[in-house]
Structure 1
């Protein structure tokens, strides 16, 4: 991924959103990405803009478990970890399945994000395990996982706390 300092605020938002979308969902073609970008507020985005975003992100096509070619972020083209990045730039997504929470991060930031959780000592977290680009969080109680997920989103600047 190229250095994002030379892009406008709108372009940076597009890059960040495109990165999150590709990390969360399997896309077979650029048109699917374009439609999702439109649904998230970039109504006039063109296919050529999507192509440019994919190039900036260093996206590649890989085969999924079904043998389909999908877009993925190339781990080798991701930026080298930089402590000056904000949490919002490090975190790609926070999701749960009712039993545990997964925090997807930009490659190389999983441990830093887990350290932030450790620092805040949230009482609803039983434990967390961090890898390079993911943090697995075990809630103390599965019954409170929705509230914990919202709190983690808020803490990590994802702004979904209510």
Structure 2
């Protein structure tokens, strides 16, 4: 006889599924929700639907960005998860420079807002503001006289030393 799971049991299953999904996204690149769903099925989550995967991605704050191979892939960017800057992010950066008043980061088209968000996640004393467009990020230093130090902070955060 089948018993309906309690709300605590359902919470434990949902929490574990969320953790497994987050771990998969940190370890692998998924270009479609179906590929992520298949990976979850292979880990024993039978019967998981595409709509469940969609809800998980929304809950985790996942966005699609261009990966190192030029394909759009899901990327975990939620503030409550560790930010890991790796080759797929740094490969989106074309140039970092400054004009003695602002730091300018040029990216591949469509990457600037995500990369700007990575700079903003953990506030730094040398950064006053970050503005991300389509392929350009402007980083405003707290003090213009410290623009070189601000550029070094940005480079360190993006793994572009």
Length-normalised TM-score, structure 2? 0.47
**Is the radius of gyration larger for structure 1 or structure 2?**
2
